[in-house]
């Protein structure tokens, strides 16, 4: 049984909306957790990720997301008029559901990207602070705001890891992320080519934004640039972090630019330490999660949303 089947079974039997944590706890109480082939260390997060992706990408999804705090899931064929009325009442009476106009700076968006990358792509990320670079005057054109790493070794048997080491192909992927608050026609080329400049060395490079123009002309222009230079676009939804998604997929390269990475390691201690950490994790076959940017629970991100200071860096 996979996580979607498990969630559907629990929701149908309980016949009420549940959070992803409640779904997992109930499945353990009923002994259903033993029927799941692969659980990992945070199965409740995997449940949330699987349901969100199914709702977003599957037009025939059986799941629905209810706008409650905390977010709850249910099955569309079990919804009743009475339950709809209760949900509407909850939405109106709960002040936390009111959309808050928060002032964000680029650095404050890092935790949203960290959350999205780990929970939906199993990518560990690390902030690269420009202010500690030895080339401060143009550091923003040399290295990205964040670097992500995907370790397939967590899914491989030890024998496969050993063979991959012998043939020199561990299969890790390194990503580059340039983060901006807003992307429009006025700043598109500047921000896009900044991402090109500091992402050319990675397997994939992305421009990450919390707001962007939605008109067709802008879409076609970004598509043209993306096709030419390979940079992708990720939308971070600060009102509903689980709705963040890739707008344009980056072109993936089979190699990384070692010379450029060496240059980055020389000018930025954060980048150099990240490379050391990747090597240690590969050698030990154990990913030290605490050595990367902290992955906040969705509840903590929501609580801190209204406490952000635009001057924080």
Cα distance between residue 91 and residue 37, in whole Å: 37
Q: Per-residue pLDDT for 160 more than 50?
A: yes
Position 102 in a domain: no
In the chain, the number of structural domains is: 2
Domain's final residue, options 73, 97, 121: 97
278 and 133, same structural domain?
yes
179 and 58, same structural domain?
no
Q: Per-residue pLDDT for 113 more than 90?
A: yes
When the pLDDT of each residue in the chain is averaged and rounded to a whole number, the result is 81
132 and 169, same structural domain?
yes
Six-digit token string for 92: 């109106």
204 and 295, same structural domain?
yes
Instruction: Please give the average per-residue pLDDT across 60-75, as a whole number.
Output: 81
192 and 118, same structural domain?
yes
Six-digit token string for 210: 């919390």
Domain's final residue, options 72, 97, 122: 97
Query: pLDDT tens, 253-277?
Result: 988 888 989 989 999 999 999 999 9
User: Whole-model pTM?
Assistant: 0.66
Confidence category of residue 95, pLDDT binned at 50, 70, 90: very low
Per DSSP, 139 falls in state: G
Position 269 in a domain: yes
Domain's final residue, options 38, 72, 97: 97
Position 312 in a domain: no
Cα distance between residue 140 and residue 42, in whole Å: 35
Whether 193 contacts 219, CB under 8 Å:
no
Query: pLDDT tens, 226-240?
Result: 999 999 999 998 878
Position 313 in a domain: no
Domain that holds residue 84: 3-97
127 and 35, same structural domain?
no
pLDDT of residue 97: 32
């Amino acid at each position: 049984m996979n996580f979607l089947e498990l969630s559907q079974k629990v929701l149908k039997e309980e016949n009420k909306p549940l959070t992803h944590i409640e779904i997992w706890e109930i499945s353990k109480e009923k002994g259903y957790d033993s029927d799941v082939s692969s659980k990992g260390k945070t199965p409740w997060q995997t449940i949330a990720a699987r349901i969100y992706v199914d709702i977003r990408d599957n037009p025939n999804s059986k799941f629905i997301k209810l706008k409650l705090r905390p977010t709850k899931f249910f099955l569309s064929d079990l919804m009743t008029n009475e339950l709809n009325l209760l949900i509407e009442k909850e939405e109106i009476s709960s002040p936390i559901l009111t959309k808050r106009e928060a002032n964000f700076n680029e650095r404050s968006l890092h935790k949203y990207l960290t959350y999205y990358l780990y929970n939906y792509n199993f990518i560990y990320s690390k902030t690269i602070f420009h202010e500690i670079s030895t080339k401060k005057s143009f550091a923003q054109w040399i290295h990205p705001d964040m670097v992500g790493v995907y370790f397939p070794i967590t899914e491989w048997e030890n024998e496969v890891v050993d063979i991959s080491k012998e043939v020199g192909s561990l299969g890790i992927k390194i990503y580059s992320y340039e983060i901006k608050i807003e992307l429009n026609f006025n700043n598109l080329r500047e921000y896009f080519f900044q991402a090109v400049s500091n992402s050319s060395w990675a397997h994939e490079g992305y421009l990450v934004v919390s707001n962007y123009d939605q008109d067709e002309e802008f879409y076609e222009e970004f598509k043209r640039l993306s096709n030419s230079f390979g940079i992708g676009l990720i939308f971070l939804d600060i009102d509903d972090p689980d709705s963040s998604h890739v707008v344009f997929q980056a072109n993936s390269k089979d190699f990384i630019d070692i010379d450029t990475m060496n240059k980055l390691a020389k000018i930025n201690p954060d980048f150099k330490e990240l490379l050391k950490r990747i090597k240690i994790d590969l050698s030990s076959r154990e990913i030290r999660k605490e050595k990367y940017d902290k992955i906040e629970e969705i509840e903590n991100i929501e609580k801190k949303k209204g406490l952000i200071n635009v001057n924080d860096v």
